Amino acid sequence: MRIRRKWMRDLASMIFTVYYLIAAEQADEKVRKIRATLTIEHLRVSWEKSTTPYLSFFTKITRPKLVKYPPRKIIIPRPPGSSYQEPVTGWLYFDGPLSAIGSHTKVILDIPGGGFVAMNPRTHDDKLIGWAGKTGLPVLSLDYKKAPEYPYPYALNECFDVYRALILSRGRCLGLETGTRPRIILTGDSAGGNLATGVVLMVLQSAMSSTNQWNGQEVLPRPEGLILIYPGLDMNIGNWMTDEQMSLIQDRRMRRTNRNILRRKSEDYYKLAETPHPSDDEEGGSSPGRLPENGNAVRPEVPAVGAMKPEPKMAHLISTEDVKHQQASVVASKPGGLKTRLAMSSMISYFNDRILTPEMMRAMIILYVGPHNRPDFSTDYLLSPLLAPEALLARFPKTYFLTGERDPLVDDTVIFAGRLRQAKYNLFVQRKELGLIEAKDEFDEKDHVEVTLIP
């Protein structure tokens, strides 16, 4: 149904929204049809519905009065040395007149999500207004350019340029007047979490670059903190996690945080398999095999190491070393736990998610990358921050993660948090061995990473 007038489209959208809240079966059928022919317009209209005049009005009158001043649209000029000239648009959330911003030294720089293709700061009003009201700090949220009109890495460079502009101008581009570097807290959700993490990596990379020092350029300080809300950090959508990723999730130090994720993976697998029995042990202790009636797994029989002997006809050709090598090979080839239900990625486990399906995720990645780019998905850590080298991860600011236990992107959170924790711990051990840290000091992961998982 094509409606030309925008006000009529907005009104019809509200009417059909109420109708589909009541008629659930018709809503499912409608969603199925739309997803079969999904377009950018569909995404933008549905995800930005909260900015329509009618919904904005109802939201405004029902929202708690946390601030007295409405969001303000501002323009951030590009910093010196940028490859781009077009300024960046942002929205300033601050509970006070503009003249009161000058005395502040801290800024929250927010990068909103939207699959790289849709949504702007005004769709995140509730969160941003709440932060501005509760913290009393200026919150700058960026309305970066979206794909496919502006493919990777345009949006990432926009966000990095704003960070540079805030540092190099001593916050004057935002209205700060203290003359000191502002202390920036960087935040991002979903695709914005990807961009926020990419900005941190670019900041750390530029600080380690000798070129900037030779050119006399100011070294950018890292953010004071990083807050990631269900971030999308891996552009490689796979069905299975690697052994390294699994080891990060099952790390003994993170069992209390990740146990609900492991439990839910198990429950989903059992529900799919229609069996109450596990296919493998959660800790990886049991091996695969058929499940007899008593529910005990039958291990494949493997000859003992001492029972391995060379065949008589070949004895004169096989040395003792060869026998030991064969024995070691047999032991190494002993099958381990398949970990089917645990190793399945959350993107595949929760493929029925109504907001973010694997097909939709792939479509957004394709649009974000663009038709003329061909990045290396196995090494480009600015595109997939999950691949970042340990040398950069060890220099990260304290990072907070917030995501749902059944979010399609939950694996990105726990794996990246595990990599950060591992990098910080390895750096701690190195500094301790060099005598830079007292021997009595102990590593506290909460000084570097905190993960909150919502049931």
Per residue in 141-163, pLDDT (tens digit) is 999 999 999 999 999 999 999 99
| pLDDT number for residue 265 | 61
Q: Is 87 within 8 Å of 78 (Cβ atoms)?
A: yes
How far is the first Cα of the chain from the last one, in angstroms, to the nearest whole number? 39
Helices (H) and strands (E) in the chain, counts: 16, 8
What pLDDT, in 10s, does the model give residues 331-377?
Answer: 444 444 445 445 556 665 665 666 677 778 888 888 999 988 888 88
DSSP annotation of 449:
E
Could you tell me where the beta strands, DSSP code E, fall in 137-214? 139-142, 183-189
Q: What is the mean pLDDT of each run of 10 residues along the chain (455 residues)?
A: 75 82 84 77 85 84 90 96 95 95 96 96 95 96 96 97 97 94 97 98 88 67 97 80 68 68 62 51 41 40 42 42 48 43 58 68 88 88 96 97 89 93 95 90 93 90
User: Could you tell me which of 210, 251, 199 has the C-alpha nearest to residue 388?
Assistant: 199
CA torsion sign, 410 to 413 to 415 to 421? negative
Burial label, 64 (beta-carbon count in 10 A; 0-12, 13-18, 19+): exposed
The CA distance from 114 to 192, in Å, is 7
Nearest CA-CA partner of 96 in 66, 121, 122, 126: 66
The pLDDT of residue 430: 94
- With a CB cutoff of 8 Å and minimum separation 6, the contacts of 225 are 185, 186, 397, 398, 399, 400
Residue 266 structure tokens: 């198990």
pTM, two decimal places = 0.78
The pLDDT of residue 321 is: 53
Strands 106-111 and 183-189 come out as parallel
Instruction: Provide the pairing of β-strand 399-404 with 449-454.
Output: parallel
